[in-house]
């Protein structure tokens, strides 16, 4: 849970109350899910996040592992 909050806090800067409007998150979603995920409204964003929660959990675990690695 802490990994998810940390990632959300970093990636939604300037859009913390409206993450679906974040250009960065729109770009990431479009890259990962295709063009249909580029411009989501609130309901579509929440639906996509809920539907893909298992893959998001895996991704957030990877992000946490990358952040824990010492810089080389």
Query: What is the domain count for the chain?
Result: 1
- Whether this prediction's pTM lies above 0.85 is answered by no
SS3 of the chain:
CHHHHHHHHHHCCCCCCCHHHCHHHHHHHHHHHCHHHCCCCHHHHHHHHHHCHHHHHHHHHHHHHHHHCCCC
The string of pLDDT tens digits covering residues 6-28 is 877 888 889 988 988 988 888 88
Q: Token pair for residue 43?
A: 């309901």
Burial 9-22 (b: 16+ CB within 10 A, else e): eeebeeeeeebbbb
**Domain assignment of residue 56, given as a range:** 2-68
Instruction: Give pLDDT tens digits for 23-35.
Output: 888 888 888 888 8
């Amino acid at each position: 849970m802490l990994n998810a909050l940390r990632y959300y806090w970093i990636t939604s800067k300037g859009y913390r109350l409206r993450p679906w409007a974040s250009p960065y998150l729109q770009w990431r979603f479009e890259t990962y899910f295709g063009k249909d995920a580029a411009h989501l409204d609130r309901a579509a964003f929440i639906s996509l996040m809920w539907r893909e929660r298992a893959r998001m959990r895996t991704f957030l675990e990877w992000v946490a592992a990358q952040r824990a690695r010492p810089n080389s």
